[in-house]
Amino acid sequence: MSEIDRSRAARAEARTRIEDAAARLFAERGYAGTTIGEIAAEAGLSKPMLYRHFDSKQELHLALLERHRDELAAAPVRELLDGEGDVDTRIAAMYDAWFGYVQSHPYTWRMMFRDTTGDPDVQAFHRDIQRRQRETDMALLRTHVPGLPEAELEPLGEAIRSALYGLALWWLDHPERPRDALVAAMVRMTRGLIATVGPEDGTAP
């Protein structure tokens, strides 16, 4: 490995340590209750070293949100929705992947679900994350419940998104509950929506 490659690897490793430390502290103490010095100490770095990677606490917070938003967006949701198996199986696979990500990133999800910054840029980012999730849920409904009135799609998508977020937050406080129980609960709720569409809507239930 060349000197340049070693330098890049060391920089990437330090950045990851900073982001992981910040995610833990932001989730545990909130944005206002966490200082740059505490993040640096948690990461085992000096403050000047941290500032080589991030200009401010706000920039670090936004970088964390962007990283995990993009990782979640990269999940194969469309492939799961359009894959093989019956509707329940595909929806269950999608929810299992979603809760699996929550389970493997507990600190980050507390931070993503609970905005404690009061910062307008961060609040706008949270609204964008919620919009993306709502649109994903609307796509799920369009695919599997084609008879639903168009005017109901967005509020129903928001209902699913809110249920997912609320259940994830509850799960973070009750980690002893099995993931498959949460998946089953979400499938049951979603299946209830699908079952409401009948011949009067012009589609099969």
pLDDT in tens, 112-122: 666 666 678 77
Cβ(165)–Cβ(127) under 8 Å? no
89 with 75: CB under 8 angstroms?
no
Tokens of 45: 């770095």
190 and 90 in a single domain? The answer is yes
User: Total domain count for the chain?
Assistant: 2
Q: Are residues 139 and 175 both part of a single domain?
A: yes
Cα 18 off chain centre by: 20
What is the per-residue pLDDT across 168-186, written as a single tens digit (0 to 9) for each? Answer: 889 988 999 999 999 999 9
Four-point Cα dihedral 34, 39, 42, 43, nearest 10: 160
On whether both 135 and 44 belong to a single domain, the answer is: no
Render pLDDT for 128-176 as a digit per residue (tens, 0 to 9): 888 888 988 888 888 777 788 889 999 999 999 899 888 988 998 899 9
- What is d(CA 102, CA 201) in angstroms, rounded to the nearest whole number? 36
Higher per-residue pLDDT: 83 or 99: 99
49-84 in b/e form (b: 16+ CB < 10 A) is ebeebbeebeebbbbbbeebbeebeeeebeebbeee
Compute CA distances 94 → 28, 39, 43, 109, 111, whole Å. Answer: 28, 34, 34, 18, 22
First to last CA, the chain: 60
Q: Judge whether 152 lies within some domain.
A: yes
Give the structural domain span for 120: 63-197
Domain co-membership, 108 together with 193: yes
Check which CATH number belongs to the domain holding 40 and give it: 1.10.10.60
**Would you say residue 203 lies in a domain?**
no
- Contact between 98 and 75 under an 8 Å Cβ cutoff? The reply is yes
User: What pLDDT score does 76 carry?
Assistant: 54
DSSP single-letter state for residue 200 = G
